[in-house]
Chain A
């Protein structure tokens, strides 16, 4: 395959990743959310594989394999099991922003990042593909955070966190290859996840109560003002 085609393929795949993130901002069905995460991780591993075909660095192959094993199979299975034991199927509640506002905000984040990063593009010595992956990785980071802030159920929050982490991996592969460290980081993330799920196992229901109680008065005030 020639390298131009490879670069285009990578661009298309990266766009697919960010689309999945934006869709999960408004998705309500938990199973479909988990599937989306594993699909996104699968695309991530494909991107890594494509870079491997170009650079021939064997460590990239390991990372792609680790991604497939941990993020496409192990973590989703774990999440599905937790979801089953908690007996909830949909996450309907939103904090602060509703689904439409959230999608709108994610677009805004994306646009803002695009212009913010123009400033340091040259210092990083980035070509167009690297630049796109930086912007998209950062956007995934912020949109993942939006999911954590905007959604109430813990499982959705975990998925938001994992998507943020996918964004970081995308970013780090294109600008810094930190190969060995990333491997360890993946393990750490698994640990965090296991800790969270074991915390859940201690007997938590499904959502973090009083997480946003303090913001409620402002929200009510805001609602009243906007209704008047």
Chain B
């Protein structure tokens, strides 16, 4: 019943956004929608035992992993919605966004929220695939909403690379569907049923479908060599959209990879799948690290950092340390959001995010530069910030596997961290004739302040409830807890 009411509220708010031509109303509704998502997921965590089933055929199912991802999604959408209030009006003032497109913007924004939740609650893998495709389309709409030709090119690149790769995923799903028959059950794509019989599915067919499914979702989360769409689309999109793309939409791919890897892990070909993930992860971290060295555009740098982190998450999944992978996903989402929010303010101030054009930033935009400093310290994995602990433990697990690979990964991470810090130092110390100070709304500053506080808290203190949830998810998926 309560779910129906929530769904009804979403539908009503979307209709209101379409029909009533008011900026502030659309924004308020968006904020309220994401608040509802946060509130209901916290409520479900506290009150209900898992899994929660809705339909008799189990197409839609909520378990702890889905709820955890939904909670992250809700928080990021909430913060980005607050940020959007100020940012969108600045975009209109600067003539980068047409007034008539605002409703489309908020419509796509809310639909993206709903379809992302759809991805996380689908138990049927084909349904998950469909929702993932819809998120691609909606993100592309959010990218092209700005008045610039480069955005169209970026969005088209995004659609073509991701949808083409996702078709391979679909082939993988068809094979998985056929493979499920070999376990002696009626063919199905329901993840919970597959998980129960995972050990009995023909391992060769399962490996085959794993590889195909992996291709599509790797493209969705920007893994090298399918990453070509990521830097332009993250850099050209409006900054609050970049936050959604980087902190939420990339998670979709990783989420699907975790699910499908959990299926193949108990079979005899589990180690092959793990090696596939490991190789792709290491290559991704390496390529992203070296690409970051030569960047001159702040948002592109942050985008490449996303690629690097996705590669690292893949390594974490491959070594089987799911507990810390999940924590890493949360930490990365929050940190990336902070970085893109700060970059958005700098973009407004200088109308550019390139080295050499950003001058006297500490004096002109103290909060944004503070956010940038904290964010970059956090993203490279400095102690006292949340990325440090999961990074440490994942590398420790990798070291048990192979010492040489550990050194290679550490070297790549060092390169990435070095290029990040070097870049930030360059833009912070640049002096020159001072442009006029740009007035930034409070609604844009608020998310940055909230995120800094959140990052510091999570960095030093892991709440017991979060610990229990992560442990529960890891054991549910067949990986050991901590």
> Which A residues form the contact surface with B (CB < 8 A)?
119-120, 123-124, 138, 141, 145, 148, 154, 157, 161, 164-165, 168, 171-172, 175-176, 178, 181, 184-185, 188, 191-192, 195-196, 199, 202-204, 208-211
Q: Tell me which of A119, A181, A208 contacts B156 (CB under 8 A).
A: A208
A193 to chain B, nearest CB (A): 10
- Is B204 a contact partner of A123 (Cβ separation < 8 A)? yes
- Check A195/B137 contact, CB under 8 A, given A145-B164, A211-B157: yes
Most-contacted residue by chain A among B126, B136, B189 (CB, 10 A)? B126
Q: Are B174 and A176 in contact (CB under 8 A)?
A: yes
Given contacts A168-B167, A171-B171, contact A188 B133 (CB under 8 A): yes
- By the criterion CB–CB under 8 Å, are B160 and A123 in contact? no
B130 engages A185 (CB within 8 Å)? yes
Q: Does B182 contact A (CB under 8 A)?
A: yes
Name 10 A/B residue pairs within 8 A (Cβ), A-sorted: A120-B205, A164-B164, A168-B170, A191-B137, A195-B159, A199-B140, A199-B155, A204-B152, A204-B156, A209-B153
| Complex: A145 Cα to B226 Cα, angstroms | 14
Given contacts A120-B205, A196-B156, contact A168 B137 (CB under 8 A): no
Partner of B208, one of A120, A195, A204: A120
Chain B interface size, under 10 / 10 to 19 / 20 to 34 / 35 or more: 35 or more
Contacts A145-B164, A178-B126, A192-B159 hold; do A168 and B133 have CB atoms under 8 A apart?
no
Contacts of A164 in B (CB 8 A): 164, 167
Flag whether B406 is at the interface (Cβ < 8 A): no
B476 within 8 A of A: no
Residues of B within 8 A of A171 (CB): 171, 174
With contacts A123-B202, A141-B167 known, what are 19 further pairs, Cβ within 8 A?
A119-B204, A123-B204, A123-B205, A161-B164, A161-B167, A171-B174, A172-B174, A175-B174, A178-B126, A181-B126, A185-B126, A185-B170, A188-B133, A192-B137, A195-B141, A196-B159, A204-B156, A208-B157, A211-B157
B152 contacts which chain A residues (CB < 8 A)? Answer: 199, 202-204
Within 8 A of A (CB), among B152-196: 152-153, 155-157, 159-160, 163-164, 167-168, 170-171, 174-175, 177-179, 182, 187, 189
Q: Nearest CB to that of A126 among chain B residues? A: B178
Q: Is B149 an interface residue (CB 8 A)?
A: yes
Asked if A202 and B182 sit within 8 Å, CB to CB, the answer is no
Complex-state Cα separation, A158 to B136, whole angstroms: 16
Instruction: Name the residue on A nearest B153 (C-beta).
Output: A208
- Is B144 positioned at the interface, with any CB of A under 8 Å from its CB? yes
Which chain A residue lies CB-closest to B202? Answer: A123
Contact of B187 (CB < 8 Å), options: A176, A195, A208: A176
User: Smallest CB–CB gap between B73 and chain A, Å?
Assistant: 21
Binary contact readout B199-215 vs A (1 if CB under 8 angstroms, 0 otherwise): 00010110010000000
Chain A residues positioned under 8 Å from B90 (CB to CB)? none
The reply to whether the CB of B134 lies closer than 8 angstroms to some CB of chain A is: yes
Q: Which residues 44-72 of B have a CB within 8 angstroms of A? A: none
Q: Which B residues lie within 8 Å of A192 (CB)?
A: 133, 136-137, 159, 163
CB distance from B94 to the nearest CB of A (A): 19
Given contacts A124-B205, A176-B187, A195-B140, is CB(A210)–CB(B167) below 8 Å? no
Question: Is B144 within 8 A of A199, CB to CB?
Answer: yes
**Bound complex: CA A141 to CA B140 (Å):** 24
Question: Do residues A176 and B171 form an inter-chain contact, with CB atoms below 8 A?
Answer: no
Most buried by B among A124, A171, A208: A124
What CA separation (Å) do A109 and B168 show in the bound complex?
A: 15
> Shortest distance in angstroms between A21's beta carbon and chain B's nearest beta carbon?
14
Cα distance, A165 to B167, chains bound together (Å)? 7
Residues of A within 8 A of B163 (CB): 161, 192
Flag if A154 contacts B156 (CB, 8 Å).
yes
B144, B175, B187, B189: which contacts A202 (Cβ < 8 A)? B144
Closest 6 CB pairs of A and B: A176-B177, A172-B174, A195-B137, A181-B126, A176-B174, A176-B178
Tell me, rounded to whole Å, the shortest Cβ–Cβ distance linking B208 to chain A: 6
Q: Which of B137, B141, B155, B179 has the most CB of A within 10 A?
A: B137
